[in-house]
Amino acid sequence: MGEYFGKIDILCNNAGLGLFDKAENQSDEIWETMMRVNLFAPYYFSREVASGMIQRGYGKILMTGSIHSTVGMCELPLSAYATTKGGIEMMTKQLAVEWAKYGITVNAIGPAYFPSEMTGDVIDDDGFKKVIEMRCPMGRAGRDGELDGAVLYFCSDASTYTTGQLLSVDGGWTAI
């Protein structure tokens, strides 16, 4: 990996899928795909990139969790998705503990609903807009740019003494 990319000081694990079905109807294929993309891939990328970071004694790894790393939801069938995002929170904590001695920080952001390819159909739905208004103290979805500060913090030297944390950027959703 290093031969192609050179040294990697910062890794942002941001790829993800949202395939939703009720747990009782969910196929093994959907479950396994969600685990491979949302949970296994961030682990494998982190492990591979960490080897160079360990040698250099420095690195920053940022995971993308979700509000569903810490809370469930009645309105959507999120069993596979929430399982992967809960796993991201614990992976973040454990890798942070294991790699802190090498100068590597591992943190995560936990966004609520923001406009994206994955969430577009959901947050544009009038019924779901009402769910957001009811569940989110700020009464709205996130806006472009509102994740930037958290990402910059975790990827900069301002966070050298912060590791193993999930920062919810959620308009207060997980506070209630």
- Residues 43, 81, 113, 161: which is the catalytic one? 81
4 catalytically annotated: no
CB 114 within 8 A of CB 67: no
Of the candidates 38, 50, 124, the residue with the CA atom closest to the CA atom of residue 80: 38
Of the candidates 72, 63, 58, the residue with the CA atom closest to the CA atom of residue 90: 63
How far is it, in rounded angstroms, from Cα 159 to Cα 98? 17
CB 98 within 8 A of CB 105: no
Q: Exposed, middle or buried: residue 12 (CB in 10 Å: 0-12, 13-18, 19+)?
A: middle
How many residues are there in the chain? Answer: 176
CA distances in angstroms from 46 to 10, 11, 59, 92, 124, listed in the order given: 10, 7, 10, 10, 33
- Catalytic amino acids? 81
